[in-house]
């Protein structure tokens, strides 16, 4: 799949504002971007840790998948996102190997990345995102 690194780790939170002090004051990370992704009904906050990011995900609506995740499993790690050179190619390879896909085609995620999710049923219950920086 040409995975180069972990792009980010997504963490489901009830409130970004309530969690900010932990990330900024305790861990000493700096939140450099807060962005709402309308079609996913989430507000996201990003922190850089080397070349990997932490992405906090706060639901903006009760029918958001993040709201459902928190309801069922509580706050915590939601997904791991791997950077790959081509999401399209990676999806093709995964599908050929029988991996169940959530997204058959790449779509736009936060920060303008091309993203797609693999189904946790095929990934040992870890929701897995593939992403690609469009400029590369
Ligand atoms: Zn993500």
- For the segment 23-41, the average pLDDT, to the nearest whole number, is 94
**Tell me, what's the pLDDT at 131?**
96
Measured in Å, residue 79 CA sits from the centre of ligand 1 at 7
**Domains defined along the chain, listed by start:** 3-132 (3.10.180.10)
Measured in Å, residue 82 CA sits from the centre of ligand 1 at 9
**Tell me, what's the pLDDT at 1?**
87
Measured in Å, residue 130 CA sits from the centre of ligand 1 at 8
Measured in Å, residue 10 CA sits from the centre of ligand 1 at 5
Q: What is the pTM (predicted TM-score) of this model?
A: 0.91
Measured in Å, residue 133 CA sits from the centre of ligand 1 at 13
Distance, in Å, from the CA atom of 118 to the CA atom of 49, rounded to the nearest integer, reads 24
Residue 136 has pLDDT above 80, yes or no: no
Distance, in Å, from the CA atom of 73 to the CA atom of 62, rounded to the nearest integer, reads 15
């Amino acid at each position: 799949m040409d995975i180069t690194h972990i792009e980010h780790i997504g963490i489901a939170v009830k409130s970004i504002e309530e969690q900010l002090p932990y990330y900024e004051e305790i861990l000493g990370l700096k939140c450099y971007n807060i962005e709402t992704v309308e079609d996913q009904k989430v507000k996201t906050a990003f922190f850089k840790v080397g070349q990997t990011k932490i992405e906090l995900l706060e639901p903006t609506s009760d029918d958001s998948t993040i709201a459902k995740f928190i309801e069922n499993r509580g706050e915590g790690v939601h997904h791991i996102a791997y950077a790959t050179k081509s999401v399209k190619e990676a999806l093709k390879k995964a599908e050929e190997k029988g991996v169940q896909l959530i997204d058959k085609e790449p779509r736009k995620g936060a920060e303008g990345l091309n993203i797609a999710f693999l189904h946790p049923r095929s990934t040992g219950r870890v929701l897995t995102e593939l992403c690609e920086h469009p400029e590369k």
